[in-house]
């Protein structure tokens, strides 16, 4: 198994494997997002207290979950790069960091839109909201550090270190509702208790969450392949692949 994982760490092999998986991931993501959007935003019932404003959760919950998951993956990739010097891990980190920042921003904006009719204000210095804002700054710091150094490897190490340090904020986001008195409601999904909403509402939410994660996987594969081509442009296998692609296009 370790040999297979180490083999997949080769940019050339990952590029080929990702190319085969990519179309299936995009197709799955589009199907799930279309189904979840229609089900949640059109057919699902309104909440008896929040009314139609509850539909914001069909975007807010997936983006908030992804914002945290992507940062954990970012830290894991940074750790792999720092310990084993696997350059593919750094390529993955560079590819997914902007997406994680975007998901964090969308989670904050959608949360504000939901909070205005629910709490009567678009922002409070709630523990969950504040820790999510800190995560956005951490994402921006990771992205900025990568480009702040003349030597690319120094920037990669600095951003990986910040990701490893910043990942401690993820459990704070997760458990802030339990640790402190906050306005934010408890988690919608839990492994230890049933959902707090009827199946007609949490099932489309589950489809949307799956769709967002499938979209992330598809985008990560696509962006990592582009990053591989950019960094490995001088290698023989990339030149041969480009030559084959150019030859096919010419024919």
Of 79-93, 155-169, 173-187, the poorest mean pLDDT is in 173-187
N-to-C CA span, the chain: 41
User: pLDDT tens for residues 182-233?
Assistant: 666 666 656 556 677 788 999 999 999 999 999 999 999 999 999 999 999 9
pTM, two decimals, is 0.92
Q: Is the dihedral of CA 127, 133, 136, 142 positive or negative?
A: negative
Task: Rounding to the nearest 10 degrees, give the CA dihedral for residues 44, 50, 53, 58.
Answer: -50
CB 152 within 8 A of CB 93: no
What confidence score (pLDDT) does residue 14 get? 95
Contacts of 182 (CB under 8 A, 6+ apart): 126, 127, 128, 176
Question: In 3-state terms, what secondary structure has residue 186?
Answer: coil
| Residues 243, 193: Cα–Cα separation, whole Å | 56
User: pLDDT tens for residues 32-69?
Assistant: 999 999 999 999 998 877 888 889 999 999 999 999 99
Question: In 3-state terms, what secondary structure has residue 234?
Answer: coil
Question: CATH number of the domain at 23-245, out of 2.60.40, 1.20.120, 1.10.3470, 3.40.50?
Answer: 1.20.120
Q: Measured over all CA atoms, what is the biggest interatomic distance in the chain, rounded to whole angstroms?
A: 67
- Total residues belonging to the chain: 251
pLDDT exceeds 90 at position 177: no
| Residues 170, 167: Cα–Cα separation, whole Å | 6
- Among 157, 200, 166, smallest CA distance to 75 is for 166
- Return the domain boundaries, the chain: 23-245
What confidence score (pLDDT) does residue 212 get? 98
| Helical segments of 85-182, H only | 87-119, 127-148, 152-166, 169-179
pLDDT exceeds 80 at position 5: no
């Amino acid at each position: 198994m370790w040999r297979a994982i180490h083999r997949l760490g080769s940019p050339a092999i990952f590029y080929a494997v990702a190319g085969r998986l990519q179309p299936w991931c995009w197709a799955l993501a589009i199907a799930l997002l279309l189904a979840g959007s229609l089900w949640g935003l059109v057919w699902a019932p309104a909440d008896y207290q929040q009314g139609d404003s509850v539909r914001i959760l069909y975007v807010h919950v997936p983006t908030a979950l992804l914002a945290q998951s992507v940062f954990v993956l970012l830290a894991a990739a940074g750790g792999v790069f720092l310990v084993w010097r696997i350059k593919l891990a750094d390529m993955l980190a560079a590819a997914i960091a902007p997406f994680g920042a975007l998901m964090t921003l969308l989670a904050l904006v959608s949360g504000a839109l939901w909070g205005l009719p629910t709490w009567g204000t678009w922002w409070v210095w709630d523990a969950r909201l504040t820790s999510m804002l800190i995560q956005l700054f951490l994402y921006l710091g990771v992205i900025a550090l990568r480009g702040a150094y003349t030597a690319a490897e120094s920037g990669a190490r600095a951003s990986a270190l910040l990701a490893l340090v910043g990942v401690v904020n993820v459990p704070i986001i997760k458990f802030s509702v339990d640790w402190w008195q906050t306005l934010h409601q408890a988690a919608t999904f839990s492994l230890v208790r049933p959902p707090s909403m009827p199946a007609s509402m949490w099932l489309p939410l589950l489809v949307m969450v799956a769709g967002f994660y499938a979209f992330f996987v598809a985008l990560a594969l696509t962006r990592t392949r582009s990053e591989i081509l950019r960094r490995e442009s001088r290698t023989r296998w990339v030149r041969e692949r480009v030559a084959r692609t150019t030859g096919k296009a010419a024919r």
